Amino acid sequence: PLYQQDFERLSAFQGSFLIDNYSDVGFNAGLLHREYVESKDRIFGANVFYTHRSQGGNDFHQMGFGVETLGSYLDWRANGYIPLGDSFQVPNSGGGVTDAMFSGRSILVNFIADKPLTGFDTEVGGVLPGSLDIFRAYAGLYGFTGDYSDDVWGYQGRLEARLQDAGVASVA
């Protein structure tokens, strides 16, 4: 923690390094703050993150922001994502113009490019009844939009097992 006041306030740095199956790399780094409000028996938090990701030889940057409230039985989280920099980039392989055809007096072109999208995700969930606070279930929504791209909307779910105080296993 960067700052901690008893069990009431916590500010911390969190970061991670990423590498995928294609040897593309990335990282994220951010700050988070959480406060316990005894009168409501809830934790309220906020975070801000910077993410860098290399994909297909191109670099992408984004800022992320989030809020959360966590309780003994019910939790809620929401995050927003804002891309920084170029609007789209052609991948080093497999990108660019893939097809062209005439339509009347126009030429229609299919084009493949990597593009960061602006978006959000949110989830709500909590303790599964009868699980003694070991198992939790969450359901949520996400949406991403951008110029020259179809919008992406969907739902997500995950199960979480709190096996001991120091560890959590999660399946999405």
39-54 pLDDT, tens digit per residue, is 999 999 999 999 998 8
Read off the pLDDT band of 146 (50, 70, 90): confident
**Residue 115: what pLDDT?**
75
**Residue 170: what pLDDT?**
79
* Nearest alpha carbon to residue 62 among 90, 28, 32, 89: 28
CA 92 – CA 88 distance, rounded (Å): 13
- For residue 89, give the DSSP letter: B
Render pLDDT for 63-117 as a digit per residue (tens, 0 to 9). 999 999 999 999 999 999 999 976 566 655 555 555 555 555 655 545 566 778 8
What value does the CA radius of gyration of the chain take, rounded to a whole number of Å? 21
- The burial of 51, by beta-carbon neighbours within 10 Å (0-12 exposed, 13-18 middle, 19 or more buried), is given as buried
Instruction: Look up the pTM and report it.
Output: 0.80
